[in-house]
Chains A and B, each alone.
Chain A
Amino acid sequence: MALVSIRNLTRIFDVSKPWLNRVVERRPKALLTAVSDVSFEIEERTVYALVGESGSGKSTIGKMLVGLLGPTEGAVEIRGVDLARETDAQKIDDVRADIQMIFQDPYASLNPRWRVRDIIAEPVAARGGDTKGLAEKLLEQVGLSARDAGKFPHEFSGGQRQRICIARALASEPKLIVCDEPTSALDVSVQAQVLNLMSDLKDQFGLTYLFISHDLTVVQHMADRIGVLYLGRLVEEADPDTLFDDPKHPYTQMLLAAAPQLDGFGREVAPPTGEIPDPINPPPGCAYNPRCPLAQDICRQERPHLRNVNGARVACHFVD
């Protein structure tokens, strides 16, 4: 059985103006659909990556997975337990202990007034566990020194801080770590160090990652399975080789063509047209139809479902 099973997950945010403004201006409620009917599974000890541009809902899915947000519809099941609906407190507690998160900005996700030792030990201390020597051991595992435990976050560089965040995430011995753009704030050479560390730790501790990123090259390197999101919808899902060698959805094709390439000297590509539509008033039918070169009438009327095509899952009317 898959470790994580996400079924028909939908999240709608109410972004309306206050009640009085709506009455005075005669405006209806504004509802933003950040995630719309997304389903996928994450197998144990694999890396599942979600890619997409800003506003595609990838972080919202990550937050729903760890329970920072509740789903509007659908369910997130981790080891068969639906965190939003389960009534057995003991079960919820057990599952929660297995989930940790690493955030994008290592400058904002560490408390500047706490010593590194307390930051790392907190997930264990909060559950009344034994934290003696824990921070020191973890610091060495993530490539810092045990002496760093007594320091404050401001004494570290961005890459080192992200290592501290990783150590904190490992402290409660989780099975699943949700990594929300873990290297976007880092320089290339530091990014390489952090990504290598994450791969090593995954093998060492048998971890499962949900890896959220906008950087296709990072995702290609890290992931076992990739889901491409567009306007809150999963448009394509495949393993990296299939996705990069043979992208099937027109959006994925556009995204791969637009990504800069190291050997693309003086490359002249027709830049993609248009922008991601307004999620408050998404276009009817397929969300990509206003920008899609293949769009026909059916695309403007009917939303395509994910279909299995040669080992990939693609949501497009014109793929077979």
Chain B
Amino acid sequence: MTTPTLSIQNLTVDIPTRHGILRPVQNVSYDIAPGEILGVVGESGAGKSMAGNAVIGLLNPPAHIASGEIHLNGIRIDHLQGDEMRRLRGKQIGMVFQDPLTSLNPLLRIGDQLTETMLAHLDISQSEARQRAIAALEEVGIPGAAERVDSYPHAFSGGMRQRVVIALALCAEPSLIIADEPTTALDVSVQAQIIALLKKLCRERGTAVMLITHDMGVIAEAADRVAVMYAGQLAELGPVREVLTAPLHPYTDGLMGSTPLASRGKDRLHQIPGAMPRLDSLPQGCAFHPRCPRTEADCKVSPGPQLIDGAACLHPIAREDVA
């Protein structure tokens, strides 16, 4: 068996506050194999970005990793500090953020930003870095890369900027890319272009991708496996087709049902009653039980169940029920 590119085991992130410890990520474990796209879905506050930031070491203090291990290509990275982490970031892990405007420096030319990253991580000359920068821009589909390499970010449209950010994330040839809502700020047609680009690059290079998004449609088209998060915990993990067409966890089921796409032809959308609990007032037992249609007495008392057979639920929906 090959070593997974990224392996997260029982990751817990804590934020100590005056009113007690908040736990935005709790006991989360998943692996990503080389060349695999893992979709991480959940609503705002589910902890999906927090988990991504923990991997790349960008948690804002006082948030910190309280327990658990993160391994990248078999090497433990969760305890790395300062310089060691900085060498890893960009070199081994690339990051694509949601907003392409704020993730580029408006005062530096595109080419300078690309060469800076490459010179920091790769042992190459200035002129070679420039050549590679142009090649990287061509690869992500920017027309006239040789001329545009000297443009400033403001001269690019939103979709083109996100391509530059992807080129930036890929230029040091990392083995893992964390894409945090890479298409949320973009239009539908541009989103399709960016998703196709991510898929192509990841297939060609065998890069593992953690694709964080709230859009189930994007997950369906891009991801190989999907992890559904709810209130900081993993609710369900499995191959994308199974999770989306025959969800085991009632939350995944509710989430799928409430997308307008799934309710075509119906007068009303399926809705999950209530809202996600705040981190400082998580209910006893399973975090989803107050909103869950399948709640039974044991859901309210026993602590949140561990992920068993794909879903963290004591009373999962049986696959035959759905069919």
Q: Is B301 an interface residue (CB 8 A)?
A: no
Cβ contacts A259-273/B at 8 Å (1 or 0 each): 111111111110110
A193 to B257, CA, bound (A): 12
A193 to B218, CA, bound (A): 22
A255 to B187, CA, bound (A): 10
A263 to B261, CA, bound (A): 10
Taking chain B's interface residues, is the majority helix, strand, or loop, or is none over half, making it mixed? helix
Closest chain A residue to B190, Cβ basis: A275
Cβ contacts A192-207/B at 8 Å (1 or 0 each): 1101100100000000
A265 to B191, CA, bound (A): 16
Q: Is B192 an interface residue (CB 8 A)?
A: yes
Q: Is A190 an interface residue (CB 8 A)?
A: yes
In contact, A216 and B188 (Cβ under 8 angstroms): yes
In contact, B217 and A260 (Cβ under 8 angstroms): yes
| Contact pick for A192, options B195, B218, B270, CB 8 Å | B270
CB contact under 8 A between A221 and B260, given known A188-B255, A262-B220: yes
- In this complex, the member of A188, A196, A199, A216 whose beta carbon has the largest number of chain B beta carbons within 10 angstroms is A188
Q: Is A159 an interface residue (CB 8 A)?
A: yes
Q: Is B271 an interface residue (CB 8 A)?
A: yes
Q: Is B279 an interface residue (CB 8 A)?
A: no
Q: Is A220 an interface residue (CB 8 A)?
A: yes
Shortest Cβ gap from B186 to chain A (Å): 9
Cβ contacts B227-262/A at 8 Å (1 or 0 each): 000000000000011001100000000111011111
A193 to B271, CA, bound (A): 6
In contact, B260 and A220 (Cβ under 8 angstroms): yes
Q: Is A246 an interface residue (CB 8 A)?
A: no
Q: Is B3 an interface residue (CB 8 A)?
A: no
Give the bracket for the number of chain A residues in contact with chain B: 35 or more
Closest chain A residue to B221, Cβ basis: A264
In contact, A214 and B187 (Cβ under 8 angstroms): yes
Shortest Cβ gap from A204 to chain B (Å): 14
CB interface residues, B 258-312, toward A, < 8 Å: 258-264, 267-272, 275
A193 to B264, CA, bound (A): 16
CB contact under 8 A between A260 and B258, given known A269-B196, A271-B196, A275-B159: no
Closest chain B residue to A274, Cβ basis: B189
**Which residues of the partner chain A approach B255 to less than 8 Å between Cβ atoms?**
188-189
In contact, A220 and B264 (Cβ under 8 angstroms): yes
Closest chain A residue to B42, Cβ basis: A187
| Contact pick for B221, options A54, A216, A265, CB 8 Å | A265
A269 to B218, CA, bound (A): 13
Q: Is A32 an interface residue (CB 8 A)?
A: no
Cβ contacts A136-164/B at 8 Å (1 or 0 each): 00000000000000000000011110000
Closest chain A residue to B215, Cβ basis: A260
In contact, A217 and B191 (Cβ under 8 angstroms): no
In contact, A159 and B275 (Cβ under 8 angstroms): yes
CB contact under 8 A between A261 and B221, given known A189-B255, A192-B269, A271-B196: yes
A159 to B43, CA, bound (A): 12
In contact, B218 and A265 (Cβ under 8 angstroms): no
**Which residues of the partner chain A approach B258 to less than 8 Å between Cβ atoms?**
188-189, 191-192
In contact, B216 and A258 (Cβ under 8 angstroms): no
Q: Is A218 an interface residue (CB 8 A)?
A: yes
Q: Is A125 an interface residue (CB 8 A)?
A: no
| Contact pick for B264, options A157, A214, A221, CB 8 Å | A221
A268 to B187, CA, bound (A): 19
Q: Is B125 an interface residue (CB 8 A)?
A: no
CB contact under 8 A between A187 and B44, given known A261-B220, A262-B244: yes
In contact, A255 and B260 (Cβ under 8 angstroms): no
A187 to B231, CA, bound (A): 14
Cβ contacts A284-304/B at 8 Å (1 or 0 each): 000000000000000000000
Shortest Cβ gap from B172 to chain A (Å): 26
Q: Is A53 an interface residue (CB 8 A)?
A: yes
Closest chain B residue to A272, Cβ basis: B189
In contact, B262 and A262 (Cβ under 8 angstroms): yes
Q: Is A254 an interface residue (CB 8 A)?
A: yes
Closest chain A residue to B192, Cβ basis: A258
**Which residues of the partner chain B approach A263 to less than 8 Å between Cβ atoms?**
220, 244-245
Shortest Cβ gap from B125 to chain A (Å): 35
In contact, B220 and A275 (Cβ under 8 angstroms): no
In contact, A189 and B43 (Cβ under 8 angstroms): yes
Shortest Cβ gap from B288 to chain A (Å): 11
A191 to B195, CA, bound (A): 24
**Which residues of the partner chain B approach A160 to less than 8 Å between Cβ atoms?**
275
A214 to B188, CA, bound (A): 8
**Which residues of the partner chain B approach A189 to less than 8 Å between Cβ atoms?**
43, 254-255, 258, 271-272
Shortest Cβ gap from B184 to chain A (Å): 10
In contact, B217 and A264 (Cβ under 8 angstroms): yes
| Contact pick for B192, options A216, A262, A271, CB 8 Å | A271
Q: List 8 A-B contacts (CB under 8 A).
A: A54-B187, A189-B254, A215-B260, A217-B217, A221-B260, A257-B192, A263-B220, A275-B159
Question: Footprint of B on A, CB under 8 Å?
Answer: 53-54, 157-160, 187-193, 195-196, 199, 214-218, 220-221, 254-255, 257-269, 271-272, 275-276
Closest 6 A/B residue pairs (Cβ):
A260-B217, A192-B258, A53-B187, A258-B192, A187-B43, A192-B269
13 extra A-B contacts, CB within 8 A, seeds A189-B272, A259-B217: A160-B275, A187-B44, A192-B259, A195-B260, A254-B189, A260-B191, A260-B215, A260-B221, A263-B245, A264-B221, A265-B240, A268-B196, A272-B192
